[in-house]
């Protein structure tokens, strides 16, 4: 069975999964979408609702509820299934529960004969992406986590607001764990070709602004979860962006969770870094010239992930 590179199987049709499906439909990304969830009734409801939007979609997208058999010829399997944070919980608190769920999901996907690309959103996303790489045996470039794609979007949005420039014209990244130890890379950021450091120097309250922005990005999920129970539109747009880079073979630079094998001086973990994404998955990790403070922060983030991850994977 040949795989259809434009076919997406989405596992987990909760808040994040359903929003991602809606983003694909709205943006005309991919031509076939299959939904799988333990909650079959809700999945059927989602399929109907999405199909009713097709009349006004930019391109036709076949949407149906399916089973793991559908993965065999899929180009992309996206996993948004599992437990989400409750108010006050960190992403890392979910590891035990979601690793068990993931073992069963990935085994079923691989049993179908799947030979495409995995994209993972479930938290803690860096550790679960590492788990999918281990459980599936697929090459590292074909297992991608959403990483800090959302944190980068939050950072760019806040910088865009401050400097009154569209976030699409703000070139700035958040790297590290998708979680409390992540770091904004101030040193390499620019807006319209002007280094961000230059623009920051012109602010009367530079230090306060930088601290507030960092905290806003880091704590955004906690605030949204407190306010409305979960976060989903932002990550759905990020997942759609990664999907588009894969489906349209874009070689787009996006901050995703990728396996380090010596890059940034670390190895054997998935973590948020800029990478070039195309039809084959992760083509290349980009090593940013971090300053000393950022290098230290990144190492702390690596340590945070490894401290939680390693006990689960050591023989």
Ligand X SMILES: NC(=O)C1=CN([C@@H]2O[C@H](COP(=O)(O)OP(=O)(O)OC[C@H]3O[C@@H](n4cnc5c(N)ncnc54)[C@H](O)[C@@H]3O)[C@@H](O)[C@H]2O)C=CC1
Query: Active-site positions?
Result: 178
Is residue 217 involved in binding ligand PYR (CB under 6 A)?
no
Q: What is the DSSP letter of 86?
A: P
Residues 6+ away with beta carbon under 8 Å from 201: none
- From candidates 8, 21, 77, 81, binder to ligand X by CB under 6 A: 81
Is residue 123 involved in binding ligand X (CB under 6 A)?
yes
Q: Which of residues 57-86 bind ligand PYR (CB under 6 A)?
A: 85
Is residue 221 involved in binding ligand PYR (CB under 6 A)?
yes
- Binding-site size for ligand X (CB under 6 A) equals 31
Is residue 150 involved in binding ligand PYR (CB under 6 A)?
yes
Cis peptide before 124 (omega within 30 of 0): yes
Minimum distance from CB of 180 to ligand PYR (Å)? 11
Q: Are 175 and 148 in contact (CB under 8 A)?
A: yes
Sole window of 1-9, 70-78, 117-125, 129-137 interacting with ligand X (rule: CB under 6 A): 117-125
> Both tokens of residue 98?
């979601």
Which residue number has the CB closest to ligand X? Answer: 14
What is the widest separation between alpha-carbon atoms in the chain? 62
- From candidates 34, 71, 76, 80, binder to ligand X by CB under 6 A: 80
Distance CA 10, CA 119 (A): 9
Q: Which of residues 33-72 bind ligand X (CB under 6 A)?
A: 37-39
- From candidates 10, 63, 95, 101, binder to ligand X by CB under 6 A: 101
Q: Which of ligand X, ligand PYR, none lies near 82, with the C-beta cut-off 5 to 8 A by kind? A: ligand X
Q: Are 85 and 44 in contact (CB under 8 A)?
A: no
Distance CA 15, CA 168 (A): 25
Is 171 annotated to bind a ligand? Reply is yes
> Both tokens of residue 270?
């998935």
Q: Are 90 and 65 in contact (CB under 8 A)?
A: no
Is residue 92 involved in binding ligand X (CB under 6 A)?
no
Q: Which run of H or of E encompasses 215?
A: helix 206-228
Sole window of 57-65, 83-91, 167-175, 181-189 interacting with ligand X (rule: CB under 6 A): 83-91
Of 115, 154, 156, 150, residue with least CA distance to 19 = 150
> Both tokens of residue 38?
């333990």
Minimum distance from CB of 28 to ligand PYR (Å)? 25
Hey, is 175 helix, strand or coil? strand
Q: Are 143 and 118 in contact (CB under 8 A)?
A: yes
Is 193 annotated to bind a ligand? Reply is no
Binding residues for NAD(+): 12-17, 37, 42, 68, 82-83, 98, 104, 121-123, 146
Sequence ranges of the binding site for beta-D-fructose 1,6-bisphosphate: 156, 171
Tell me the binding residues.
Answer: 12-17, 37, 42, 68, 82-83, 85, 91, 98, 104, 121-126, 146, 151-154, 156, 171, 231
């Amino acid at each position: 069975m040949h795989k259809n590179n434009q076919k997406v199987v989405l596992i987990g049709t909760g808040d994040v999964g359903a929003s991602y499906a809606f983003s694909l439909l709205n943006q005309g990304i991919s031509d076939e979408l299959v939904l799988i969830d333990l909650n079959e009734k809700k999945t059927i409801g989602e399929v109907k609702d999405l199909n009713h939007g097709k009349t006004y979609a930019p391109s036709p997208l076949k949407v149906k509820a399916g089973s793991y058999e559908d993965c065999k010829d899929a180009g992309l399997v996206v996993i948004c299934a599992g437990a989400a944070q409750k108010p006050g919980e960190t992403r890392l608190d979910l590891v035990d529960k979601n690793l068990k769920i993931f073992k069963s999901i990935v085994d079923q996907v691989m049993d179908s004969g799947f030979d495409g690309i995995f994209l993972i959103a479930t938290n803690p996303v860096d550790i679960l992406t590492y788990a999918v790489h281990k459980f599936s045996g697929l090459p590292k470039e074909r297992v991608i986590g959403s990483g800090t794609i959302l944190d980068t979007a939050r950072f760019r949005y806040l910088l865009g607001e401050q400097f009154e420039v569209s976030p699409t014209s703000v070139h700035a990244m958040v790297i590290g764990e998708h979680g409390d130890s992540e770091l904004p890379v101030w040193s390499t950021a620019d807006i319209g070709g002007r280094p961000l450091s230059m623009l920051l120097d012109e602010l009367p309250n530079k230090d306060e602004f930088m601290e507030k922005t960092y905290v806003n990005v880091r704590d955004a999920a906690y605030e949204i979860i407190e306010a409305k129970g979960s976060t989903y539109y932002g990550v759905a747009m990020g997942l759609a962006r990664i999907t588009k880079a894969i489906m349209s073979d874009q070689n787009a630079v996006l901050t995703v969770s990728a396996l380090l094998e010596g890059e940034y001086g670390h190895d054997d973990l998935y973590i948020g870094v800029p990478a070039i994404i195309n039809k084959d998955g992760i083509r290349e990790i980009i090593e940013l010239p971090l300053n000393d403070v950022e290098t230290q922060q990144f190492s702390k983030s690596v340590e945070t992930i490894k401290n939680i991850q390693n006990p689960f994977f050591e023989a």
